[in-house]
Amino acid sequence: MARYTASADDVASGTASKTILQITNPATNPASHRIAIYGYRVSYRGTASTAQPVRTLIARQSTAGAGGVNVPVAKLDPSSPDSAMTAVKGPAAAWATEPTLGDIWSAQRLHPQSGMGEFIPLGDEVIVAPGGWLAVVVVAAATVDVTAQLYWREGH
């Protein structure tokens, strides 16, 4: 099973949800092609130690949104094929219309001068079926630089 990762950077500010990194399993993929998200990392580079925590979400999205730019995908095993079945987009500044938030899989409030990462145990991964979207979404009251990264397997 091929493993991949992608990351995106952006600046988040205001109180609206901002999609930093979105992974799509195109509806044209066969029903048997599922994407298994097995890890994520999010880090912030804020400037004020007294700034409010940033709401950090790993969530499904019910619409793709409009815009976004393609994000390069890296193979974790150089002998794996290129990821031809997954689309990855970001960052928040590139969205003309923000995707619609769906089910929230993980929600944390993180200090804007910190970050976190999690690797999900085998068998407990978050599955993205064909026609689905999953994203790293943030809500920040103060301006803060964000880096988001997702890890996934294809071909379940």
The per-residue pLDDT for 156 is 58
- Structural domain harbouring 142: 2-154
Residues 2/151, Cβ–Cβ less than 8 Å: no
Residues 44/110, Cβ–Cβ less than 8 Å: yes
Phi, psi at residue 136, to the nearest 5°?
A: -95, 120
Phi, psi at residue 108, to the nearest 5°?
A: -140, 155
pLDDT exceeds 90 at position 83: no
pLDDT exceeds 70 at position 151: yes
Q: Give CA–CA dist 120/127, Å, rounded.
A: 12
Predicted TM-score (pTM) of the model is: 0.92
Mean pLDDT for 70-91 is: 86
Q: How many separate domains does the chain show?
A: 1
pLDDT tens per residue, range 6-21: 999 998 877 889 999 9
CATH of the domain at 41: 2.60.120
Structure letter (DSSP) for residue 15: S
E strands in 66-143: 66-70, 74-75, 87-97, 101-110, 115-119, 126-128, 132-139
Residues 13/144, Cβ–Cβ less than 8 Å: yes
pLDDT tens per residue, range 101-141: 999 999 999 999 999 999 999 999 999 999 999 999 999 99
The per-residue pLDDT for 84 is 64
Q: Containing H/E element for 23? A: strand 18-25
Chain-centroid distance, C-alpha 68: 12
Chain-centroid distance, C-alpha 69: 13
